[in-house]
Structure 1
Amino acid sequence: MASNSPSPSFAEVVRVFARIGALSFGGPAGQIALMHRELVDERCWVSEDQFLHALNFCHLLPGPEAQQLATWIGWKLHGLRGGLVAGLLFVIPGAAVMLGLSLLYAHAAGLAWFSALFLGVKAAVLAIVFQALRRIAGRALNTRFKEGLALIAFLALFLLDLPFPLVVLSAGAIGMAVALARPDLLALKPPPAAAEPAPRPWRQTVVTILAWAALWAAPMLAVLLLLGPGHVLWTLGLFFSKLAVVTFGGAYAVLAYMAQQAVQTFGWLSAGEMADGLGLAETTPGPLIMVTQFVGFLAAFRAPEPFSPFMAGLLGALLTTWVTFAPCFLWIFALAPWMERLEQARRLAGGLAAVTSAVVGVIANLTVWFALHVLFTRVERLELGPLHLSLPEWSSLDWRAAVLTALAALLIFRFNQSMPRVLAICAFCGVALGAVA
C-alpha cells in the first residue's frame, strides 16, 4: 500500500518529530504506538506495510528499535538530514531531562527524604520490569523450543554467570541453523513475496560505514590522546561502545549485563543506585537505554580529575550518550537501502526469533537481580564450582520495600495504571513510610 499523503516539507518533519520526542513516554511499545498514530494514521507519511516492514527491520539491529524506526522514517522522507533530525529529536529531550535528574541525584543522594523517595521508585521499577517480562514472554514464546531457549538463557546467566554477549550470539547462531532445518520450531512465517530487487548499493554502504565509524570513534580518540587509557572517560566510552553492538532485544535485555558490569566489575555505582537510574529513565521521554547516561554521569562525577565534578559528570554523560546512540545512525543509514533484500533472509529471521526468545531469559535474570537488591539489604554471592549463586540474607528483608512493591504490582496488574503514575504514587508512599519509620 502506498502512502496517501504527499511528502511533507522538511520543516514539517522537524516540527512533528520534535513533538514525538517530547511525548515519547512509556517505553518502546508506547513510543512505537505514538509514531504509528502520528505518522501512519493521522498524516499518512508512510504506509502501514512500510511501517511494519521497517519495524521488523529495526528489530534485527542492536540498539533501541523505536529510535531506529524514527531515524528510518526520517531517512525515508528526507534522506540523510531527515534521518538525523528524526533520530536526534527522539533522543535529545530525554537526554536533557536525564542530565538534570542525574545532577540532582548526585547532590541529593545522601538526604534521608531522597533515599525514602527512591525506595518507592525502586519498588515500582521492580513491578514494571516484571510486567515487561510477562508481556515479552507472552508475545515471544509461542513454541516449546523458544521456551527452552529462554530457560537455557536464564540459567546460563543466573547460575553460570556467562557473559551476556555470548548468550545472545549463541542463541542467534542456533536460530540461524534451526531456521533452515526446522523452521516450525521457531514458528517462522513465509517471507514476503520478493519484488524486483534494486541494485546492490555497495558503494553507498561502505562510505556510510566508514564515515559513521569515524564519527563514532572521534570522541574516544580525543579522550585517549588527552587523558590516556587509565581515565574513567576512556573506560566508560570503551564499555558502552561495546555494549552498543550487543544490545539486541531492547533495553531490558541489556540492563542486567550493564548493571552487573557497572556495579560488580567497575564499581561505578551500587545496585540500589542502578535501580534508581532505571526509575529515572522510566520517567523521562525517549529510549529507556538512556539510563546509560545516568551511569556515565555518576561514574565520572565520582572520579573527576582533572575536571570539576560537574564538568566530569557532564563529559561522562555526553560521551556515554554519544557512543550509545551514534551506532544507531550507522546501522540505519548503512542498511536501510538493503531493507527489501533483508526481508527475504530466512536465516536472519531465524536468528532474530531465537535471540528474542533468549531475551526473555535475560529479562528474567534482570527481574531476579532487581528483586534481590530491592527487597533485601544484604545479598551474598556464593561460588560452588561452575555455579555462581546470589542468595539473600532473609533477615535483611526490607518490609517497606516489600509493601511498596506489592502496591506497585497492584496498581499495574489490577488497576492498569500508567508507569509515570505508578512511579509517582510509590515515590510519595516511600517518603511517607520513611517519615513513619
Structure 2
Amino acid sequence: MSDKAIIPYSLKSLVLYFLKLGATGFGGPVALVGYMHRDLVDKRKWISEDDYREGLALAQLAPGPLAAQLGIYIGFVHYRLLGATLAGLAFVLPSFIIVLALGIAYKYYQGISWMQAVFYGVGAAVIGIIAVSAWKLTKKSTGKDPYRWFIYLVAAITTIITENENVLLFIAAGIFYWLVKSAGSLKKKAGASAQFFIPVLLQIDTGTTQAGKLQDIFLFFIKAGAFVFGSGLAIVPFLYGGVVKEYGWLNEQEFMDAVAVAMITPGPVVITVGFIGYLTAGFSGASVAAFATFFPCYLFTVIPAPYFKKYGKRPGIKAFVDGITAAAIGAIAGAVIVLGKRSISDLPTILICAITIAILVLSKKITEQIIILAAALAGLIIKIIQPS
C-alpha cells in the first residue's frame, strides 16, 4: 500500500466517486466491480492492478456482498480505516435513500391497483432473473467437483423442503469441504488457518430475543450480513426464512416485492434490507437492518486487509469458504422453487418468467433493469385487460 505522499487522489474525490457509483451503478455485483476496475484502475489509475486484484480476492473469500466489500477495500488501500468507512458509506447511502423512498411509497400506496399490477409483472420477471443468476453461479462455482455438487444439492433440497435456511448448514458445509480437502495434500498450517477462521463465524449468535422488534431486526440482519458470499442474491433465501417464515414481518407477496425493488435500484442488491426494515418498523427498522447487514461486511474487510497478502491464499481458508459458497448457491437454487410457487401463479406470469429467462440467456445487450420495466408495463396491461 502506497505512501500517502504519492496518493494520486484525495479522500474527497474517492468519496464522491462512490456516491456517484452508488447512485447510478446498475447491473448487480459483477457489473459494479467491473465499473470500479474500469474507472479506478484503467482510466484514473488511482488504484494499482495488484491492489484491485487483492481486494477482489478478499471480497470473494470473506462473507459479505462482493461489490460493497471491494469498495471498502479500495477505500482502505490508501486511507486505511477512515477511507474504508467513508467509501463504504458513500457506496451504500444513495441506494439506501432510494429504497427508503420506495418503501414509503409502497407502504402508503400498496392498495392502489396500479402498484399491485406493477408488482404482478415484476415478481414473475424477478423469478426468471434469480433462476438465471443461480444457474450461472452454479456453473461457475461448483464445476465438476462432486463434493461441491453434493453440498449444493443438499442445500437446495433442504431449502425447498423446509422453505427456510439454516446458518449451521452453511458452517457444516464449510467444515465438510475443508475436511475433504485437508485429507489430501493440505499442510498442517493451512488447517490451523481454517481453524482460526471457523470460530470467528461460530461466535455469531444464532438466537434472537424478545426484548423488542428493533433488537430482533438487528440480530437477524447481522446474521444475514455475515453469510452473504459473493452474490447479493445469496441473502434472498436466508431473508425469506426469517422475514416471512420465522418472524412474519412481511407476507410472501411483500417479500417478493422487496426483492423486485432490489433489482430495479442501483447499488448493491443487498440494500433490499432497507426496504424490508422500513416495512417492518419504519425508518428506524430500515436504518437498523441496513447497518446490521453491512457491518459484518465492513469488519470482514478491514480486519483481515492488512494481513491478506500474507495469509489470504492459504488452502485451508479457501476450502472452508468454497464449501460455504456451494451451500449458498444451492440455497439460491432452492429459493427459486420456493418463491416461484408464489409468484408464478397463472399463464401470464409463466410467460413473463419464461421470456425473461430466454432474454437473459440469449442476449447480452438487454439489461435486467429494462426487463423489469417491461415486466412492470406488461403487468399493468394484463390487469387492464383482465381485471381481477
TM-score, length-scaled by structure 1: 0.78
Give the match for residue 89 of structure 2: 88
Q: Distance in 2 between matches of 1:281 and 1:163?
A: 20
Q: Which amino acid aligns with 1:60?
A: L
Counterpart check, 1:420 vs 2:369? yes
Give yes or no for contact 2:119–2:379 (8 Å, CA) kept in 1.
Answer: yes
CA–CA separation in structure 1 for the residues paired with 2:218 and 2:333: 27
Count how many residue pairs are aligned between Structure 1 and Structure 2: 364
Please say if 1:401 is aligned against 2:349. Answer: yes
Cα deviation, residue 157, structure 1 = 2.5
CA contact (8 A) 1:156 1:167 kept: no
Matched to 1:94, the amino acid is: S
1:187 aligned residue: none
SS at match of 1:159: helix
CA contact (8 A) 1:233 1:316 kept: yes
Amino acid at match of 1:261: G
Answer whether contact 1:21 1:91 (CA < 8 A) is retained.
yes
Q: Which has the larger radius of gyration?
A: 1
Aligned partners of 1:2 and 1:47 also within 8 Å: no
Structure 2: gaps (5+ residues):
191-199, 201-208
Equivalent positions of 1:38-187 (< 5 A) are: 38-145=39-146, 146-159=148-161, 163-182=165-184
Q: Which residue of 2 aligns with 1:217?
A: none
Residue 263 (structure 2) pairs with residue 294 (structure 1): no
C-alpha RMSD of the superposition: 2.5
1:359 Cα deviation (Å)? 2.2
C-alpha deviations, 1:237-280, integer Å up to 9, x for none? 22112222223343222211211221122111111211111111
Give yes or no for contact 2:22–2:92 (8 Å, CA) kept in 1.
yes
Where structure 1 has 5 or more consecutive residues not aligned to the other structure, the ranges are: 185-190, 192-208, 210-227, 301-312, 377-397
1:162 deviation in Å? Answer: 6.9
Measure the CA separation in 2 of the matches of 1:181 and 1:7: 47
Counterpart in the other structure of 2:193: none
Q: 1:293 corresponds to which letter in structure 2?
A: G
**1:413 & 1:88 partners in 2: Cα distance?**
34
1:33 aligns with 2:14: no
Q: 1:262 to 1:233 in 2, by over 3 A?
A: same
Aligned to 1:346: 315
The 1:415–1:242 alpha-carbon spacing in structure 2 relative to 1, beyond 3 Å, is closer
Alignment check: 8 A CA contact 1:120 1:427 kept: yes
User: How many angstroms does 1:163 deviate by?
Assistant: 4.2
TM superposition shift of 1:182 = 3.5
Return closer, same or farther for 1:242/1:340 CA change in 2, 3 Å cut-off.
same
Q: Conserved in 1, the CA contact under 8 Å of 2:127 and 2:339?
A: yes
1:282 counterpart = 2:263 = yes
> Of Structure 1 and Structure 2, which has the larger fraction of its residues in helix?
2
Percent pairwise identity: 28
- Please, what TM-score do these two structures have when normalized by structure 2? 0.87
Aligned-partner Cα distance in 1 for 2:380–2:164: 38
